[in-house]
Structure 1
Amino acid sequence: MKYGLLLATTLFLSTSAIAQQPDPLRPTGRWSANTTGQAETPPMGWNSWNAFGTDIDEEKVFASAKAIVDSGLAAKGYRYVNLDEGWWDHRRSDGRMLVRSDKFPSARTADGATSFRPFTNRLHAMGLKAGLYSDLGRNTCAQAYGPNEPNLPRGTMMEREVGLYGNIDRDIKLYFGDWGFDYIKIDGCGLRAYGASSDLVSSGRYQALEPILSLETVALSNIPAVQAMFGNVKAALDRYNPDGDYVLSLCIWGAANVRAWGKDIGNVSRTSDDITADWGRMLTNFDSAAKRPLYAHPGSWNDPDMLFVGKGDFDAAHLTEARSHFALWAMINAPLLIGSDLRDTPSALMQILGNASLISMNQDPAGNQAVLAFDSDDLQIFVKTLANGEKGVAIFNRSSRPIDANLTSAHLKFRKDAPVRLVDQWTDAAASFSGETVMKVMPRETLVFRARGVRELADGIYLSEIPGSVNPAVDGVTLPQPDPTIHRALAPWGGGSRGVGPRPMYAGWGGAQADATPFGRELQISGQRYAHGLGILANSRMEVRNADFRRLTVTVGVDDSASDARHAVTFEIYGDGRLLGRSAPHTQGTPAQQLSVDIDNVRLIELVARAPGVVNEQLPVSWADAAFHR
């Protein structure tokens, strides 16, 4: 009954909010992606899960913290030390959470209430930050999927309900206001695994909580309810952290279409299921975030899960794979959270984790996730624009054979008649080329460079070069569908090749893209191809931050890939909520139209594509050659 009341209230509030916003395309004049919390750059640190699972204790954590400081990693930005599952003892009858003081003796108090304050004080005294783990439901992932794991919550059924469900305000106040934590990772197994028909419930071990979250099928998730619950967590964090010194990590593994809306609530948003120490699984997790650069910004980052450098396919016997794993996470602005046991991590792997050049790319203040400049199943080239005008370049060989890769000035959006200087981020070796160069990339290798050249746009920049300044506030997706382009690795947690194999499950297909249509095609309007631009569905609104540019130019039209050739789209440009320009109505095949508007002293641009009464997914539109000019 308690669950039904909460869900009904959540749905009522969500429905009411929608009813009060009749036109989601109406310009607001404000940036709507999350900027609260402490994540202007992707968080860096260490998490206990990959190394220890639930078998954690104070000695292991502080040995890892000491290694972070003593190795120099802390000085390079690794500052969060995050406890994952395994810290709970039980929830007291008055609702207070108790710590496993047998594992964390510093938490003991005279009255038996336990407190993590001495633990966080000690980390803070080391110059580090402290992170904690919880779940949106009553119970947790390890309780559901690891019943024989150590350090599970103890006591009666009610005492073992250690998740946030029904306790959001109380728990967040305790964890942040009283105990002094700085980071919280919130899982969603409690909203997924405890249905009335599950063995967990029918056995009498746990109370039923009907699932509102499905990893396998997005249509089975109650997206508004999940959003509302995370919204309540964020509100509590704001209440008990008035200085904004917190990080909120949404860990629902790409479910409930979170790859589209996580940016509006959390600082870090998981785009996939758990990573493992397997090459194929790393590809899955990487792919889930790599094609979402427009959904990551300073304050809200895509999270393909923790680093697994140090184990399995990424151990000291597989340095090529370990370097690729780290470099790819750095290029797409993923949080750099170490998952290895730092007490015995070999020096060769510590050198990878401490690569200052790659860390600086990950932490670059411009906040631009790398954009795909070349894409195939075998080879990919990623390019990211850095705050100083240079480009970061990663050439990734996904295959098992050497590949001669062609890197061109066009990939970098540099002039082909001017020299391009490259500096290898692994070796510091420098080289130059004009127009095009060829590099041999070994199997599973990722070459990474800083590149300096002369921009194609002498007086400005393409919007697709600065995805950290572009927010698809409304991306036009009306029926979330799983993305079929994500690598489908064998499930590492059992099953082998039984059944029909893994199927696409992470919604996001049809989302906004840089330099491509929402479905991964080359931008094309009325037969004319465009190498630069933003692709999105009709009935969409994008927000673009302007940093002292004076003019916006763009070529607009219905993309040739549209399957709807009948309905018309009108393109509108707003500046700080005021209409600056509007196109004529466009149908498929209508010649592209150029728009140019004055944006001097305008802080926020909004790009709106309106098409009443259409199926948005059938009507992709192109903002081709969209660019700022000085």
Structure 2
Amino acid sequence: MRPLPRRRLRKLLTATAALALLAAPLLAFAQDSLEPTGRWTARKPGAAATPPMGWNAWNAFRTEVDEAKVMGSAQALVDTGLARLGYVQVNLDDGWWLRRRQSDGQLEIRTAIFPSAEVPGGDSSFKPFVDRLHGMGLKAGIYTDIGRNACSQAWDLKSPNLPVGSTAEREVGLEDHVDQDIDLFFGTWGFDYVKVDACGLADYAPGAPVVGRNGYRPREPLIVRREPAKDASARIEAMYRQVAAAMARHGADGERVLSICTWGRGDVRAWGGEVGALWRTSPDISPRWSSMLRSFDSVATRSLYARPGAWNDPDMLYIGAGDFDENHLTEARSHFALWAMTAAPLLIGYDLRQAPKALLDIWAAADLVAVNQDPLGDQAVLVHHEGEVQVLLKTLSGGRKALALFNRGGQPAKITLTNEQLKLAADAPVVLRDLWTGKDAPGFTGRAAFDLAPRETKVFEVRGAPLIADGVLLSEIPARIHVAQEPSWPPPADGFDGPVGPAGHTGGAQADFSPYRTPLAAGGRRFAHGIGVLANSRLEVLAAGEFQRFSANVGVDDASKASGASVRLAVYGDGRLLARSKPLRAGDAPVALNAPIKGVKVLELVAVSSDAAAPPVVVWGGARMTH
């Protein structure tokens, strides 16, 4: 047999080596948990395909609630036209229960304040109340706690509407009664929504003054106030999964909503979207500007964790009180605009029986409601932060974007925007429409300056030629990205989850920034767009067979300069390895990864580090899918 010519032999050896490279294991230190699944593993949206909208009793009445107040506000939703805009959820909060009957464990309703719940023979039922709301075209929500006791029993001790009776009778929470109570709420009473608080896991520790003074049964805390690193996250998650499973068994047909309320604790960022339709990300909001900022900050960098059927929840709207009353309409509009942009639930917390027109006009801002309810389900990405001004950009259906310019501070501010920040072609004319007024605003090409009054938020619909003419940046479609696996870490003292970076910033996987909120950079090269995430992570991207090619420049982020770990990054399509990098370390130049993805339904972006304990940050710079 005649030997092959040297050039052909070289080509054959090169091809053989390439095939071997693709067939080899990712790295000797690859972790089995990062193996690709070949499918989209995020929970399919059922309930709450768009963020829930409606009304909740708590901010208006706390436990001083009654049927007349609730039905009056429900009727106002209908009469003002808010229900036609989507405000259909009417939610009870704490204060409705009387006791847990000991003969059979049944919850009893405080019929003195909910008279329609009184049933002949001394029993009680919310079915007439729920049926009345349903007859008005509205939906009904109820409140409970994941533990044995509720929040009011620790924090509202002067309330006239606390549970009464013996220690056992006053244990009105779900613990030890999950199946029974969920069947009651959904199967018997017909509610559509349940908010499950977590004070029962936090405030009744052995030796706590509130336990001894009030004769409660002590309970080992799974959430330790002011010490989030001590949260028993796995046990908290397991308890909420029990609730979700009970809802699936008892008439909750996939259209019923589970609202998780652990206030951002228990690592809920990692599991909330797999268990409930929304999960609280912060402590309770109050009608103060600083409190609103804290709640907003808890979701502003979490765009990769929200999608249809799974929403970050910075708590209810507090428009109408304190810093957001009718004398502070600039602040009230900012509060509403930020919740709309971040795809947060829009739950009014005001006595709507006496709402002034100025406040009704904010809740009824149809263009902003449409931004919140856009069917793509993308949460706005925080694309720029300069001084006190933050810029949020949200992809909308129909090739549009929503833009919010937010002045956090108490002084006037100016911000200059560029086409690149808006992810538009550099020479593209930018067309703006003011979403508060509905009128066209002056457009620009290249860059433009905007003036903002103290605490003002300007919101625009944006149109223009996209930066990626034949495709999309991954950071433009956060709802199509599922952070399937990433390292866990003890949260910082403020309770927000995420690794603490050199500048004190925290966060999980980020769009257009590192998890430390530093600009994406590898080997000294900056990337305006991309995904930043800790290594030992797996991201799923819903390609849905719509694209031909994936490309990115990958490397170890310069924020991890001190790390000596090596990382290898790989791209899978429907479970098949398509491309991967060589081992990379901090300081190495980024490497281009390109992969054909024609017909691929699910991409998986996997980064495996040699350091399992302290993996560095990796950059998927300029990550995009093109046609």
Counterpart of 1:474 in structure 2 is: 485
Aligned equivalents of 1:155 and 1:267: distance in 2? 34
Counterpart of 1:584 in structure 2 is: 582
Counterpart of 1:398 in structure 2 is: 408
Aligned equivalents of 2:213 and 2:352: distance in 1? 39
Counterpart of 1:420 in structure 2 is: 430
Could you state the TM-score of these two structures normalised by the residue count of structure 2?
Answer: 0.92
Q: Does 1:29 align with 2:27?
A: no
Number of residue-to-residue matches in the alignment:
588
Q: Quote how far apart the aligned CAs of 1:598 are.
A: 1.8
Counterpart of 1:593 in structure 2 is: 591
Q: For 1:526, give the aligned amino acid.
A: G
Contact 1:575 1:604 in 2 (8 A): yes
Q: Does 1:142 align with 2:152?
A: yes
Contact 2:513 2:530 in 1 (8 A): yes
Q: Does 1:559 align with 2:549?
A: no
Q: Does 1:573 align with 2:563?
A: no
Q: Quote how far apart the aligned CAs of 1:190 are.
A: 0.4
State the identity as a percent. 49
The partner residue of 2:142 within 115, 118, 132 is 132
Counterpart of 2:89 in structure 1 is: 80
Q: Deviations over 1:168-220 (max 9, x none)?
A: 11100100011000011111000011111011222352001110112422221
Q: Quote how far apart the aligned CAs of 1:425 are.
A: 0.5
Aligned equivalents of 2:418 and 2:121: distance in 1? 68
Deviates more, 1:202-211 or 1:457-466: 202-211
Counterpart of 1:47 in structure 2 is: 56
Q: Quote how far apart the aligned CAs of 1:154 are.
A: 1.2
Counterpart of 1:463 in structure 2 is: 474
Q: Does 1:198 align with 2:208?
A: yes
Q: Find the residue that maps to 1:541 and give its secondary structure.
A: strand
Q: Quote how far apart the aligned CAs of 1:58 are.
A: 0.9
Gaps (5+ residues) in structure 1? Answer: 1-20, 483-502
Aligned equivalents of 1:257 and 1:295: distance in 2? 13
Q: Does 1:241 align with 2:254?
A: no
Contact 1:33 1:265 in 2 (8 A): no
Q: For 1:415, give the aligned amino acid.
A: A
Counterpart of 1:504 in structure 2 is: 494
Q: Quote how far apart the aligned CAs of 1:111 are.
A: 2.9
Contact 2:31 2:608 in 1 (8 A): no
Aligned equivalents of 2:221 and 2:58: distance in 1? 25
Task: Output aligned runs, 1:514-529, within 5 Å.
Answer: 514-529=511-526
Aligned equivalents of 1:600 and 1:269: distance in 2? 36
**Alpha carbons of structure 1 residues 534 and 151: separation in structure 2 relative to 1, 3 Å:** same
Counterpart of 1:453 in structure 2 is: 464
Task: Output aligned runs, 1:132-531, within 5 Å.
Answer: 132-203=142-213, 205-241=215-251, 243-430=253-440, 431-476=442-487, 478-482=488-492, 504-508=494-498, 509-531=506-528
Q: For 2:340, give the aligned amino acid.
A: A
Counterpart of 2:547 in structure 1 is: 549
The partner residue of 1:68 within 61, 67, 77 is 77
Counterpart of 1:122 in structure 2 is: 132
Gaps (5+ residues) in structure 2? Answer: 1-29, 499-505
Contact 1:259 1:270 in 2 (8 A): no
Q: Find the residue that maps to 2:367 and give its secondary structure.
A: helix
Q: For 1:84, give the aligned amino acid.
A: D
**Alpha carbons of structure 1 residues 353 and 56: separation in structure 2 relative to 1, 3 Å:** same
Aligned equivalents of 1:89 and 1:156: distance in 2? 12
Q: Find the residue that maps to 1:81 and give its secondary structure.
A: strand
Q: Does 1:623 align with 2:613?
A: no
Aligned equivalents of 2:55 and 2:338: distance in 1? 18
Q: For 2:555, give the aligned amino acid.
A: G
Aligned equivalents of 1:37 and 1:428: distance in 2? 32
Q: For 2:576, give the aligned amino acid.
A: R
Q: Find the residue that maps to 2:181 and give its secondary structure.
A: helix
Q: Deviations over 1:503-533 (max 9, x none)?
A: 6222223410000011111111111110010
Contact 1:153 1:162 in 2 (8 A): yes
Contact 2:58 2:349 in 1 (8 A): yes
Q: Does 1:539 align with 2:549?
A: no
Q: Quote how far apart the aligned CAs of 1:592 are.
A: 1.3
Deviates more, 1:535-544 or 1:549-558: 549-558
Larger radius of gyration: 2
Aligned equivalents of 2:429 and 2:46: distance in 1? 41
Q: For 2:462, give the aligned amino acid.
A: A
Aligned equivalents of 1:56 and 1:183: distance in 2? 18
Q: Quote how far apart the aligned CAs of 1:141 are.
A: 0.5
Q: Quote how far apart the aligned CAs of 1:22 are.
A: 7.4
Aligned equivalents of 2:175 and 2:252: distance in 1? 23
Q: Quote how far apart the aligned CAs of 1:113 are.
A: 2.3
Aligned equivalents of 1:140 and 1:68: distance in 2? 28
Q: Quote how far apart the aligned CAs of 1:51 are.
A: 0.2
Q: Which runs of 4+ in 1 moved over 6 A?
A: none
**Alpha carbons of structure 1 residues 90 and 37: separation in structure 2 relative to 1, 3 Å:** farther
Aligned equivalents of 2:350 and 2:622: distance in 1? 44
Contact 1:215 1:256 in 2 (8 A): no
Q: Deviations over 1:254-309 (max 9, x none)?
A: 11222332222111110000001111110011101111111111111000000001
Contact 1:218 1:507 in 2 (8 A): no
Q: For 1:627, give the aligned amino acid.
A: R
Aligned equivalents of 2:557 and 2:60: distance in 1? 48
Aligned equivalents of 1:75 and 1:332: distance in 2? 22
Deviates more, 1:206-215 or 1:172-181: 206-215
Q: Find the residue that maps to 1:567 and give its secondary structure.
A: coil
Q: For 1:241, give the aligned amino acid.
A: G
Could you state the TM-score of these two structures normalised by the residue count of structure 1?
Answer: 0.91
Q: Find the residue that maps to 1:24 and give its secondary structure.
A: helix
Contact 2:475 2:512 in 1 (8 A): yes
Q: For 2:181, give the aligned amino acid.
A: D
Q: Quote how far apart the aligned CAs of 1:539 are.
A: 0.3
